[in-house]
Structure formats: structure tokens, C-alpha cells
Chains A and B, each alone.
Chain A
Amino acid sequence: MTPLILLGIPIGLAFGFALQRGRFCMNSAFRDVIVLKEYTLLKAVGLAILIQMVAFAALDMAGVITISPNTFFWGANMLGGFVFGIGMVVAGGCASGITYRFGEGMVGAMSAVLGLILVGLMTTMGAFHPLVIAIRGATTVTLANGANLTLANIFGIPHYILAFGIAGVALIIWAIRSKSSKGSTKEAEGISVGTKIFKKGWGWQATAIVIAIIGILAFISSTAAGRSYGLAICGGYWTTIQSLLMGQNLIGWLSVMLLCTILGSFIGAKIAGEAKLRAPAPKVLIQTFFGGCLMGFGAALGGGCNITHILTGVPQLALSSILNGAFIIFGCWTLAYFWFVRPMRNL
């Protein structure tokens, strides 16, 4: 075990703090587009992806990191993503959402984490593992040379050209749109910078930029510790529990980072006066636990949660992550439609 895994400490603390201050939850981001016609968090997710897309490509060119797309197993990506998307609506938060709310003291999020760990481990190494092997085995596709698929290498385009191209086009569209719809920034005046950072929830631009910077630093520091990938969450829970409960020596950069993420969120919530143990009704606790179970199964089958795939994989143009991410959104929207949109419409 290299001491460089301790580089996960500052990354985790900063990540947890930023998640809590920015309320960065992809379940809210995706679900509320159809439930509340609310786009703020979605914009934060989009911008964080674009910034990382450019940075990862540049750092790969400079030899600092290596673009490391996850394996494309379309059946597992689709089913895993869909189940994860449903699970996060049931749990009331995505992997980052339940993790930062764990730090805030929300017991519903803690029970979701419990479900995610339990069924996640059953799927990565227990009763459901043969199913994973079968689905992945039947649907894995790689390039002829064994390389994992990206949007760039399947078309034979240099990675950096496509990454810079997508980010450039998105930037131009963004600039045109923001010009035509005059900004409705209602930033409160007369508030100190300290209050804005530590006491108030952050705006979406600040959240996106900070999360992206942490994501970039995470990839660099994780690479230094021998793990060629950026931010992730579920694997951190599973390896920590495997190490603590089963005596397997799996504590690495990701476990350290994840534990510090919870701590960072607690610190952020504490400073803002938002940390408090609070629990929903018992039946909601069971609901969030069940949601966590679905998330655990989906993440373990599909090769990662929304952070692994959408925040870190999509910027690497990984085909597995693009497909998995699309099915996370599909699962989220499917249940959100039946649970929230339709009942509200029928009032």
C-alpha cells in the first residue's frame, strides 16, 4: 500500500464540501427537469463534464494522466444504468447525493448507503455475481486490439480533437443561448465572500467549476497512487467494507477519498449550520434502503455509479459511460414520471 493513497484526503474533503455547498445531486438534476421544470443542477452537471473533457484530453496529451475508459458491456451498461436510475429516485439521491446527505446527518441517506453497500457487495462478489458475469460476458465489445471503446477511437478520430471539438461547440451554443436569454442572476448584494462560500448554497456555475477542478485533481492524484481513474463513489464504499469486514486489503486512494468525502460534507454542513441528525418516517427509511439496494445492484452490474460514469467517464468519451449514463437518466425519468409527474398532473 503506497502512502500516496493519502492524497485522497484533501480531494475527498474538498469533494464532500463542494457537494454539500453546491447540493450536487444528479438525481435532483435529472429528475427535476421533468418534475419541477428546474434546470439549475443539470447545467452544473453539464458544465462540470465539459470542463473535465477538455482538461482530461490536455492532461492525457501531456502524459500526466491516461484516458481510461471503462469496458463497454452494452447489456450490463443498459440494465445496470436503468436499475440505478430507478434506485436513485426511490432512494431520494444519487451516489453523490446520498453521500453528502450522509455527512449532513440525514438518516434516510444513511439507510440508502447501507442498501448500496449490501446489495453492491452481493453483486460484485456474492449471490448475484454469476448474473454479472453472464450479462457482461455476452455483451462485451472492444476494439480489435482489445482497447476499450470511446467515441473517438471507434471512429478513428484523435481523442483530443473530438474532446476539444465537443467542448467548443457546446461553448458556442451556450454563449448564443445565454445572450438571447438575458441572465437572471439574482446574486444578493452586500454579502461577504466568506458568507457566499461557507453559509449560502453555491450557484450552479461555481459548483460546476469547483467540482470539475476537484475531478481533475482527483484523476492526477489517483494516478499518482496507482489508480488510473478520477472521481468515483460506490467502489469506495465496497472496498472499505470488504477491507474492514472481510479482512481483504483493498484500502486504497478511493476508500480514503470516499471516507473524507463524507467528512468534508459534514464540515461544510456544520459551518453552514445545516448539520443535524434527522430521520424520515420508518417506512421512508425502508424505501431509501430499498432504493440503495437497487443502486448497489445497478452500479455493480454496470461498472459504476453516476459519478464513475457521468462525471468521470463521459468526459473521457467512454462509450460505456455514455450508454450507462443515458440509461441512468432513462430509469430516473421513467419512475419520476409515474411517481411525481402523472399524479401531479391528475390533481
Chain B
Amino acid sequence: MAEEIKPNETLDVRGEICPNPDVKTMVKLKKMAQGQILEVLVDYPLSVERIPGNAEKNGHKVLKVERVDGPNHKIYIEAQGGQK
């Protein structure tokens, strides 16, 4: 059950202002090869709620959204390669 996800890349957007966490995540995912896993470190609540939905809307697969502490979250997304 508690299978550890091993990310290929990590994107730290903690402290960033709106909408940079969302935009940087989408740009990063677009550049990653299919099957690669991106770990996003984010502390902006609106982005924590919206990144998973936007990633899926763009064809990527959200593996896990994990709260670390306070507003800090880790989001794991599997890229689907050069999606729009």
C-alpha cells in the first residue's frame, strides 16, 4: 500500500506567487518524457487544489497528493510525454 514513489525530477515552487506554481508545473510536465515522474513541492493552497486537475486535463496522471506539514504539499505526477 505505502509504495514509495521515486520521482525522476523535482520542481520546488514553494513561496512562488500565483499562478507560477501551476504554470511551471505544466511547462515542466510538457518537457518530460512519457512515464517520467515529477515531484512538485508547493505551499500555495489554490495551486495544491488546481494542479492535479489541470495535469489530468492535459493528459498526465496524478499519482499522489501528500500533505507534508502546514501548507506544504508534495504532488507526484506521471508525465505522458509532450502533451498539450
Contacts and interface: CB of A to CB of B under 8 A. Distances in A.
Contact of B71 (A28, A109, A276): A276
Interface string B1-40: 0000000000000111111101100110011000000000
Interface string B27-57: 1001100000000000111100110001001
Q: Which of B31, B49, B71 has the most CB of A within 10 A?
A: B71
Interface stretch (A6-14, A72-80, A278-286, A323-331): A278-286
Interface stretch (A29-37, A218-226, A239-247, A300-308): A29-37
B83 to A, nearest CB: 11
B27 A347 contact: yes
A25 B46 contact: yes
A32 B19 contact: yes
A207 to B, nearest CB: 12
B52 to A, nearest CB: 11
Q: Number of contact residues on B: which range applies?
A: 20 to 34
Given A201-B46, A278-B71, A281-B15, 18 more contacts: A25-B18, A28-B19, A31-B19, A32-B22, A35-B19, A36-B22, A36-B50, A36-B54, A37-B57, A201-B49, A273-B70, A275-B71, A278-B15, A280-B16, A288-B17, A340-B23, A344-B26, A347-B30
B22 A280 contact: no
A25 B54 CA distance: 18
Contact of B70 (A25, A38, A276): A276
A273 B17 contact: no
A31 B20 CA distance: 12
Contacts of A32: 19, 22
Interface in A90-133: 91-93, 97, 104, 106, 108-109
A76 B43 CA distance: 38
Contacts of A108: 15, 17
A275 to B, nearest CB: 7
Interface of B is mostly: helix
A273 B26 contact: no
Interface of B: 14-20, 22-23, 26-27, 30-31, 43-46, 49-50, 54, 57, 70-72
Given A36-B22, A93-B18, A274 B45 contact: yes
B22 to A, nearest CB: 6
A23 interface: yes
9 contacts: A36-B26, A38-B50, A92-B17, A104-B71, A108-B17, A201-B45, A275-B70, A278-B43, A279-B15
B29 to A, nearest CB: 11
A126 B23 CA distance: 38
Contacts of A36: 19, 22-23, 26, 50, 54
A255 interface: no
A38 B71 contact: no
B43 A276 contact: yes
Contacts of A281: 15
Contacts of B20: 92
